[in-house]
Structure 1
Amino acid sequence: MKVDISREHTFVVCAYKESQYLEECIQSVLNQNIKSNVIISTGTPNSYIKEVAEKYKLQLFVNPNPSSLASDWNFAMGCAKTELVTLAHQDDVYEKDYSENIWKAYNKSKNPIILFSDYAELRNGKRVLKNKLLTIKRVMLSPLKIPAFWNSKFIRRRILSFGSAICCPAVTMVKSMMPSNLFEDNMKSNIDWQAWERLSKKTGAFVYVPIPLMEHRIHEESTTSDLLKDSARRDEDLIVFRKFWPRPVALLIERVYQKGEKSNQLK
């Protein structure tokens, strides 16, 4: 029997300008084993995004005040009417069983705040399941393979204190647990890591599904790759590390972290 969770879960596809990968992302969320609701949100309305929305018969929401990435993501969250919301980044692709696995994890967890899966990378059109950065993140998240630790503030804060191990598009948020304007408008790249730090203080569960259920695309036009070319990312990393550590320790961890982040660039 087919399961329909569209009344409980929404993929909000966050569209920006004219991405050549937008349709591939949309197709991946429409082709889930169990069907979720799918809508599109954008802060850069144009004829291309409108045509794609019409082609797939998807409702399109336009941010009337698109001041930043945080503004667009907060607006996108508000567009979803379901309890579970996944902000699908337009360049990324989801496995057919993403919704199914998140739904199962949601139903067996206690007071969930966010649910997120492991992920792979897409580099030059190829799925990459293992590299240095992915291995480090999996090691960092390994304590959350144990469901007994899902509700531990100490465990998740220790994980986040050493870097951004949670891949933003792999996350499904429980809307009733979200503060208003979850994403703060003070950064360009680390607004997700900062949001998880904020949520890590709440009582509830960080639910981890240790299966690669989506692919995060690495390409030269991505925001992360662009920021890694200058000091902006390093400054933002230090801001978040300071939420966990005194400045001397934060500086030391940040230097080590920078070496790992270089693998996010295409060779």
Structure 2
Amino acid sequence: MDRVLHTFAVCAYGDSPYLEQCVRSLTRQTVRSEIIICTATPSDYICRIAEKYGICLYVRDGEPGIREDWQYAWEKSGGMLVTIAHQDDIYRRTYTEELIRAYGKYPDLSLFASDYMTIKMKNGKAVDDTFNTVWLVKKILRLPLRLQLISDRTWLKLSGLVFGNSICCPTCTYNKALIGDREMFPSEMKFALDWDNLVDLASAAGRFVITEKPLLAYRVHDGAATFRSMQDDGRNREEEAMFRKLWPESIADLLMKLYKKAGNEYR
């Protein structure tokens, strides 16, 4: 049997009220993909959603953790191209279509990612988020990555990461054929895991293909892992470590001050 081309691997944690919306958006793609749900916190709620949509559910032993959950989802995915889908987000119907089009043009892509929209939640309701400074800054930082003909160069791939992580994690699809069977998420970081992983990926063979079409609605709410991490000083320490990994100390300190101010926009 031919290998599955693309897998959406949904990492489910707890009983998110947004999980079904995420899964439904994946089943309504204009191009079909394999869809799986992976969790370390099994429940009747998650099982019901998997059964309702005819999706395979994989349960990992051990304590839940972002790196462990992502790695497990990566290993369980049968596709050559793998999207680690976040349970709170909604994927546009054309996400897979755009991914396959990009892969057809650049089969050496190691990463596909897109722009995104933000759904900001407050007290369980969506609130107006017309002007999102973080989104705008990230979009500007991604400008060099639009040069797709040379986006296989390490310096160009890193250009979108040296001033902060400009790539929205849940929009990312990775190419197993290029990455191989190595551990996909080896970083020991807890909060800056996706940034650290992308920096390592930028130094390896493969092309970063970024589309500025908003193919994901990224949900911001009090229960999200990203929001919770903003309350933990560990995030600041890890982000500072990332800047020091990429810059001399004096520049890293300056960038970290700016990054902390930008972080307040999340709230």
Partners of 1:127 and 1:79 in 2: how far apart? 38
State whether residues 89 and 219 of structure 2, in contact with CA within 8 Å, keep that contact through their aligned partners in structure 1: yes
Note if 1:41 corresponds to 2:31: no
Cα-to-partner distance string for 1:82-112 (whole Å, 9 max, x where unaligned): 1000011000000000100111011101511
| Residue in 1 that maps onto 2:162 | 161
Q: Aligned to 1:57, what secondary structure does the other structure show? A: coil
Structure 2: unaligned runs, 5 residues or longer: none
Note if 1:51 corresponds to 2:48: yes
> Identical aligned pairs, as a percentage?
33
The alignment's TM-score, normalised by the length of structure 1, stands at 0.93
Note if 1:193 corresponds to 2:200: no
Counterpart code for 1:10: T
Q: Aligned to 1:12, what secondary structure does the other structure show? A: strand
| Residue in 2 that maps onto 1:234 | 236
| Residue in 2 that maps onto 1:123 | 120
State whether residues 113 and 204 of structure 1, in contact with CA within 8 Å, keep that contact through their aligned partners in structure 2: yes
Cα-to-partner distance string for 1:103-153 (whole Å, 9 max, x where unaligned): 101110151111111111111336857511111101000111222231121
1:81 Cα offset (Å): 1.1
Structure 1: unaligned runs, 5 residues or longer: none
1:35 Cα offset (Å): 0.9
The number of aligned residues is: 261
Q: Aligned to 1:138, what secondary structure does the other structure show? A: helix
Partners of 1:161 and 1:185 in 2: how far apart? 17
The alignment's TM-score, normalised by the length of structure 2, stands at 0.93
| Residue in 2 that maps onto 1:207 | 209
Cα-to-partner distance string for 1:189-220 (whole Å, 9 max, x where unaligned): 21111100110101210111111000110001
Partners of 1:134 and 1:215 in 2: how far apart? 12
> In the TM superposition, what are the counterparts of 1:38-187 in structure 2 within 5 Å?
38-66=35-63, 68-124=65-121, 125=126, 128=129, 130-178=131-179, 180-184=182-186, 186-187=188-189
Partners of 2:66 and 2:167 in 1: how far apart? 18
Counterpart code for 1:58: I
Partners of 1:27 and 1:153 in 2: how far apart? 36
> In the TM superposition, what are the counterparts of 1:17-32 in structure 2 within 5 Å?
17-32=14-29
Name whichever of 76-85 and 225-234 sits farther off: 225-234
State whether residues 127 and 215 of structure 1, in contact with CA within 8 Å, keep that contact through their aligned partners in structure 2: no
| Residue in 2 that maps onto 1:262 | 264
Partners of 2:187 and 2:102 in 1: how far apart? 31
